[in-house]
Amino acid sequence: MSEPAEPPIPDGLLLRIYRVAVLTRAVDHQLWLLSRQGRAGFVLTARGHEIAQIASAAAMRRGHDSAWCYYRDMGVGIALGVTPYEILLGGLARGADPHSGGRQLTMHLSSPSLRIGSISSAIAAHIPHAVGAAYAARVRGEDSVAMCWFGDGAASEGATHEAMNLAGVHRLPVVFLCENNRLAISVPLALQMPVERVSDRASAYAMPGESVDGTDAEAVFTATRAAVERARGGGGPSLLELRVPRITPHSSQDDDAYRSDEQRAAAAAADPLPRLRQTLIERGMLAVDEDERMVREAREQVVADEDLALAMPEPLPERARRWLYAGDPPQGGVTLPARYANWTGVFDG
C-alpha cells in the first residue's frame, strides 16, 4: 500500500500565513488612513499581494537566506519578523525607525539581523544586489539562497536583464519572484512586453520559469520551496511569476483613473484573503467566530502600535547628514512593545 501523499503545505503553516496576511492587511489599512490624514507620506500598498508575498517567504530559511524586496513587500517583511510597530514608525517618519531613522518612504526596510537588504525607490535597483548576494554566498561556500521580489514593471528595466543574465551564466543560488499585477503604475502589461507572461523570459537565461496563481497560498509555497531547494542544491536560479490583483491604486498619490469600474471590481473580487479564509474554514482549521476575533485583534494591535509610534519624536535636525559617510555610528535598535517579545512573523509556529 502506497504512503499517503505529503500535503503541499502543513496545515499549521497555512493558518499562520493567513494570520500574518490579516495583520498585514490591517497595517496596510491603517497606513492609508494616516496618509489621508496627512500624517503618513507616500503609501505603497500590499493589498492583493499579501498571500503571494507571505507564502513565498515561508519557503525561506529565516535569518540564513537573504531577502531583497521592493517597496510593496510589506507581507514579506512581516513574515520575516518585522513588526507592524516598526513599519508605522517608518510611515510616520519617526527618529526611532530602526530601518532608516525616519529618512525613507513608507516600507523601505533594511535589517541586517533579518538579512533584509535595503529597499530602494529606484525600480529594479535591488535585483543586481540579490544576484551579488548569491554570488557572495557562492564565494564564501555558504548554502544561503537570495530571494528577490519585484513587480512586472521592474521586468522592463535593463538592470533586471543584466542581473538575470549574470545569475544564469554562473548558475547562482537566487530565486526571482515577479509579483505580476499587470500594471506598471498605469501602463498595462501588453504595453510593457511582447510576451504574455514574465515567466516566458526565463528560457533566455537558461533557468526554469513558472507562472503561478499568486492568490493560491499552497501553489505559491510549493513552487517557491522547489525553487529554493533547487538553488540551495546547486541547480541555479529560477524565475517565478506570481499572478496577483492590485486592489488599490498604485499609491496614495494615484487617482486610479486609468482603470474602469469593471477592472477595479474584478481586482477586488480576486482578493486572496477571502479565498484562503474559506479554505481554512472548509478544512476545519478555522471557525467563523475565530476569524472575526482574529481580524478584530489585528486591527486593535495595529491601532495600539500607531498610538505608540505617534508618541515618538521626529528625527533630530542635527542628524540630517548622518549615515552619509563611513564611520558614522549605527542607527541602533528599537524598543518594541512587549507583545512582540517572541515575534518571528510567519515562522512563529
Domains of the chain, first to last: 11-315 (3.40.50.970)
At residue 11 the predicted structure's pLDDT band, cuts being 50, 70 and 90, is confident
pLDDT of 3 reads 54
- Per the annotation, the verdict on 85 as an active-site residue is no
H or E stretch covering 146: strand 146-151
- pLDDT above 90: percentage of residues in the chain: 86
Query: Does the pLDDT at position 200 exceed 70?
Result: yes
Nearest CA-CA partner of 50 in 181, 197, 238, 210:
181
Cβ atoms of 201 and 195 closer than 8 Å:
yes
Q: Is 18 a catalytic residue?
A: no
Give the mean pLDDT of 320-328.
Answer: 83
Instruction: Note the pTM of the prediction, 2 decimals.
Output: 0.95
Kindly name the residue from 182, 230, 246, 277 that is annotated as catalytic.
246
Given a contact cutoff of 8 angstroms between Cβ atoms, the answer to whether 30 and 230 are in contact is no
Is 25 noted as a catalytic residue in this protein?
no
**Mean predicted confidence (pLDDT) in 93-104:** 90
Which one of 103, 135, 161, 258 is the catalytic residue? 258
* Least confident segment among 34-38, 105-109, 131-135, 264-268: 105-109
Distance CA 238, CA 186 (A): 28
Q: What is the per-residue pLDDT for 55?
A: 98
Q: Taking Cα atoms as reference points, which of 273, 298, 218, 214 lies closest to residue 14?
A: 218
Q: Which three cell numbers stand for residue 326?
A: 563611513
Q: Tell me the pLDDT band of 349, cut-offs 50, 70 and 90.
A: very low
